[in-house]
Structure formats: C-alpha cells, structure tokens
Amino acid sequence: MAHFSRLSRIVVDAPPDAHDAEIAFWSGALASPFNQVTRFPNFHWARLPGDGNAMLLQRLGDGPPRLHLDIHATDRAAEVTRLEQLGATVVDSSQEWTIMRDPAGLLFCVVPDASLDSTNANAWP
C-alpha cells in the first residue's frame, strides 16, 4: 500500500539562552505569532502562508543553534526505509518521530501525519 509524505516544517533549534529572542525575531520577520505546542513545551510554532506548512522553534537542551527540516509521512517506518535507501541514516527513533541524518550529515526528522493524501503530498509505493 502506498504511503504519502512531504516536506512540512522548518525547525529552528535554539539554545535556551537564545530561544525567546528567536521567537521574537521570527514572529516579527514572518508577521505570525508563535504558539507553544501543548504536548511539547520546548516547541513553539507558527503557521506559514500556503498549504499547511509551518515553522517550529525548538528549545534545545544543549548544542549549537541550527536549522532542520521535518518530513511528514502517513507511514513513518515506510518513509524512513525509503530515505535510508536514498542514503540517509537513523540517528534516533525513540520518540514519536525519527531523527535522521542525510548523506551530507545534516539532521532532519520524519514525523507521522495522518492528514496527508494525494491532494497534499507525494505518493510512494
């Protein structure tokens, strides 16, 4: 059975001392308020104009500031396998999402999303 996926989120990973300044900056830059994610208090999000894309700001426990992308998929395991076949590697799959590394070493996440279908995402066999 086919699964669906698409690039869905741009995520700014900010250290604790820069997190609030990042929220203020990106809120002003995008003219969009960032709201705290109820289930994940280290995340704030803002909807971007268009078809359901959003930007997240994540408060890191440690590490330098960085950006990463989230790919949403109706079948996380199938999408992870597909991306591994393209050269990505799994870093951590202990949460609801899977953290992966692309061939150049950049981090990204695969996140389950049941709302995807042929009208808003790519179909994969």
Tell me what pLDDT residue 57 has.
Answer: 96
* Residue 104 to residue 108: CA distance in whole angstroms: 11
Provide the domain limits for residue 53: 3-71+83-92+99-116
* Residue 117 to residue 102: CA distance in whole angstroms: 25
Confirm if 19 and 64 have CB atoms less than 8 A apart: no
What pTM was estimated for this model as a whole? Answer: 0.90
pLDDT of 50 over the 90 cut: no
Average pLDDT over residues 97-125: 96
Average pLDDT over residues 14-40: 94
pLDDT grade for 6, boundaries at 50, 70 and 90 = very high
**What spatial distance separates the first Cα and last Cα of the chain, rounded to whole Å?**
6
* Residue 123 to residue 13: CA distance in whole angstroms: 29
Average pLDDT over residues 101-115: 97
Write the DSSP assignment of 59-110 as a string of letters: E-SSS--EEEEEEEESSHHHHHHHHHHTT-EEEE-SSSSEEEE-TTS-EEEE
Tally of domains within the chain: 1
Is 20 inside any structural domain? Answer: yes
Tell me what pLDDT residue 5 has.
Answer: 98
Is 124 inside any structural domain? Answer: no
Is 122 inside any structural domain? Answer: no
Is 18 inside any structural domain? Answer: yes
Tell me what pLDDT residue 48 has.
Answer: 87
Average pLDDT over residues 24-30: 96
Tell me what pLDDT residue 49 has.
Answer: 84
Query: Where residue 60 sits, what CATH number does that domain have?
Result: 3.10.180.10
pLDDT grade for 53, boundaries at 50, 70 and 90 = confident
